[in-house]
Amino acid sequence: MKCPGSIPRTFSRRQLLATASNGFGWLAARGLLQGATHHEAKARRVLFLFMPGGVSHMESFDPKPKLNALDGKPAKLDNYVAGPNRKWLRCLWDFQQHGQCGAPVSTLFPHTAKHVDDLAIIRSMKSQFPLHARGNVFLHTGKNIGGFPSMGSWINYGLGSENKNLPGYVLLRDAYVPPGGIENFSNGFLPASHQATHIRDEGVPVDNITPADTNAQIQRAKLDAILAQDRTLLARANSDDAIDSAIANYEMAYRMQSLVPDVLDLGKESEATKKLYGLDAEDKAKRSYGLQCLRARRLLESGVRFVEVTCPNLYGQNGTWDQHDHLKEQHERNAHVTDQSVAALLTDLKQRGMLKDTLVLWAGEFGRTPDTGNGDGRDHHPFCFTIWMAGGGIKGGVTYGETDELGDQVARDPVDIHDLHATMLHCLGLNHERLTYRFGGREQRLTDVHGNVVKAVLA
Q: Which of residues 391-450 bind other proteins (CB under 8 A)?
A: 440-442, 449
3-state secondary structure the chain: CCCCCCCCCCCCHHHHHHHHHCCCCCCCCCCCCCCCCCCCCCCCEEEEEECCCCCCHHHCCCCCHHHHHHCCCECCCCCCCCCCCCEECCCCCCEEEECCCCEEEECCCHHHHCCHHHEEEEEEEECCCCCHHHHHHHHHHCCCCCCCCCHHHHHHHHHCCCCCCCCCEEEEECCCCCCCHHHHHCCCCCCHHHCCEEEECCCCCCCCCCCCCCCHHHHHHHHHHHHHHHHHHHHHCCCCHHHHHHHHHHHHHHHHHHHHHHHHCHHHCCHHHHHHCCCCCCCHHHHHHHHHHHHHHHHHHCCCCEEEECCCCCCCCCCCCCCCCCHHHHHHHHHHHHHHHHHHHHHHHHHCCCHHHEEEEEECCCEECCEECCCCCCCEECCCEEEEEEECCECCCEEECEECCCCCCEEECCEEHHHHHHHHHHHCCCCCCCCEEEECCEEEECCCCCCCCCHHHEC
Q: Examine residue 133 and tell whether it contacts other proteins (CB under 8 A).
A: yes
Check binding of 207 to other proteins (CB under 8 A).
yes
Question: Which listed residue (36, 225, 258, 352) binds other proteins by CB under 8 A?
Answer: 225
Residue of the chain from 238, 270, 272, 353 that contacts other proteins (CB under 8 A): 238
| Minimum distance, C-beta of residue 437 to other proteins, in the bound complex (Å) | 13
How many Cα atoms sit within 13 Å of 297 on the Cβ side? 27
20 makes contact with other proteins (CB under 8 A): yes
Which residue number, 36 or 175, has a Cβ lying nearer to other proteins? 175
211 binds other proteins (CB under 8 A): yes
Q: Which is nearer to other proteins, 23 or 392 (CB)?
A: 23
Interface with other proteins by CB under 8 A: which range of 33-41, 91-99, 195-203, 336-344? 195-203
CB of 273 to other proteins, least distance (A): 29
Q: Which of residues 313-332 bind other proteins (CB under 8 A)?
A: 316, 318
Check binding of 134 to other proteins (CB under 8 A): yes
Q: How far is the CB of 8 from other proteins (least distance, A)?
A: 4
| Shortest Cβ 390–other proteins spacing (Å) | 31
Q: How many residues bind other proteins (CB under 8 A)?
A: 85
Interactions with other proteins, residue window 342-401 (CB under 8 A): none
Q: How far is residue 298's CA from residue 292's CA, in Å, rounded to a whole number? A: 10
In whole angstroms, what is the distance from residue 388 CA to residue 396 CA?
Answer: 10
- Of 30-38, 110-118, 141-149, 366-374, the segment contacting other proteins by CB under 8 A is 141-149
The interface region with other proteins, picked from 13-21, 110-118, 153-161, 393-401 by CB under 8 A, is: 13-21
Q: Does 192 bind other proteins (CB under 8 A)?
A: yes
Which range binds other proteins by CB under 8 A, 237-245, 330-338, 384-392, 425-433?
237-245
Least CB distance to other proteins at residue 431 (A): 20
Nearer to other proteins, 39 or 231 (CB): 231
Q: Does 6 bind other proteins (CB under 8 A)?
A: yes
Q: Tell whether residue 182 is a contact of other proteins (CB under 8 A).
A: yes
When asked if residue 232 is in the footprint of other proteins (CB under 8 A), the reply is yes
Residues 246-275 that bind other proteins (CB under 8 A): 246-247, 249-250, 252-254, 256-257
Question: Of 243, 266, 314, 458, which lies in the binding site for other proteins, with binding defined by CB under 8 A?
Answer: 243
For residues 272 to 301, the per-residue mask of contacts with other proteins, x marking binding by CB under 8 A and - elsewhere, is ------------------------------
Cβ distance to other proteins smaller for residue 1 or 272: 1
Scanning 114-122, 151-159, 186-194, 277-285 for contacts with other proteins by CB under 8 A, the matching segment is 186-194
98/198 with CB nearer other proteins = 198
For 201-206, which contacts have Cβ atoms below 8 Å and span 24 or more sequence positions? 201/172, 201/173, 201/174, 201/288, 201/289, 201/291, 201/292, 201/312, 202/174, 202/175, 202/288, 205/260, 205/261, 205/264, 206/260
Q: Which is nearer to other proteins, 92 or 177 (CB)?
A: 177
**Residue 200 binds to other proteins (criterion: CB under 8 A):** yes
